[in-house]
Amino acid sequence: MFHQISKHAIRHNSNLSIEPLKIAFFGSDRFSVASLCKLDEYRRANPNIIESIHVITRRIKPTGRDLKNLIELPVGKFANDLNIPIIRTDSAQEINNLPIEFNLIIAVSFGKLIPGKFIFRSKYGGLNVHPSLLPKYSGSSPIQYALLNDDKYTGCTIQTLHPTKFDQGEIILQSEKIPVLDDDNYNSLVSKLGPIGGELLVKVIKLKSFISQKKFESIEQYSMASKISKTMSEIIWDSYSARKIKRRFDALGPLFCFINVKIKRKKTVIEEKRRVILSDISEIRDPKLNVPLKEVGEFTVTTDGLIVKAIEGYVRVEKVKLEAQNEDTPQAFINGFTKRVGKDMPKLFIN
């Protein structure tokens, strides 16, 4: 895929002589895998330009019940499959003490700041592939924020690595604007932007534009895409439109809210809040309802699924999980509603 590039974006250095590149590639997730894939393909075709790639990623930590599961990071699995050497590091000190001398550092979704001391040791410094049109959405969660804010486009940026701050390097190259479609979600944007970022990275290496950069004037305004917190997955029914709820699901996955339930403890019936997890959420503008929903958060079940009234519009939910229960279809959730919640309770999700 060809990406239109401003004539002021990069300086061609094709006649400059450089040492064969010994690359330290810092990565973790699927987005970084796409850049590593493009980079390794270019290395195989041009061993005189890229001498070696070492993948540097986190140690595998036990997860799951009893911490018995060891799940490899996507970049580690990809590197293993292609016999690319892997180095595990979890701290700046470990990075600074790496015994191998690299002359170019590349960081893609590594999640930690590459120490300035390590960057300065590298003859050609460092590059970062970032999934936004910087300086818009600097920070750790640019793809999520593009969806949360219902943006119409996004893109990728290649920048230099700053020795002390995230996303404060010099912009070298950017993609064209990439449309964010209505049916896009976090996974689809990772799949879309990953190869684009990889193509830009290879282009920068081909043109040797990491050697002497001409300042890129981005038309985007600075904004911060801070780390996603768990509380951002809560639906605030009296504040969120159906569109905002749908885009929040696209960005973050399953969302939650609360419902009042009646439970019996020591022969006494008490009321308490229980968490409800909602999945497979979409927006419905004009659902066909037998009984109108009058209050925000009120819900009913139709052949389309669980329909909930938002402050503006309606959302359809196809999977529901009440706290301490198994995930249900909307119909199964309603069938067990009286038993779980109490027949006298209003059918209303609350904040």
pLDDT in tens, 185-244: 999 999 999 999 999 999 999 999 988 766 778 899 999 999 999 999 999 999 999 999
For the chain, give the mean pLDDT: 89
CA distance 84 to 198: 17
Given a cut of 60, is residue 9 above it in pLDDT? no
In this predicted structure, what is the pLDDT of residue 347? 65
Q: Lowest-pLDDT range, 57-66, 111-120, 302-311? A: 57-66
β-bridge mates for residue 306, sequence order: 301, 317
User: In terms of CATH, what superfamily is 230-350?
Assistant: Formyl transferase, C-terminal domain (3.10.25.10)
CA distance 154 to 147: 10
Listed residue (14, 15, 17, 37) closest to 197, CA to CA: 37
In this predicted structure, what is the pLDDT of residue 270? 78
CA distance 208 to 294: 62
CA distance 209 to 14: 8
Domain ranges of the chain: 21-207, 230-350
Q: How confident is the model at residue 7 (pLDDT cuts 50, 70, 90)?
A: very low
Handedness of CA 71, 72, 77, 83 (dihedral sign): negative
In this predicted structure, what is the pLDDT of residue 64? 60
Given a cut of 60, is residue 163 above it in pLDDT? yes
What is the reported pTM? Answer: 0.91
21-207 classified as CATH 3.90.1720.10: no
CA distance 286 to 212: 56
- Edge-to-edge strand ranges of the sheet holding 104-108: 86-88, 50-57, 21-27, 104-108, 126-130, 157-160, 171-174
Handedness of CA 96, 100, 103, 108 (dihedral sign): negative
Given a cut of 90, is residue 261 above it in pLDDT? no
Given a cut of 70, is residue 287 above it in pLDDT? yes
Q: At which residue do the structure tokens 């389309």 appear?
A: 304
Tens digits of residue pLDDT in 145-155: 999 999 999 99
Given a cut of 70, is residue 341 above it in pLDDT? no
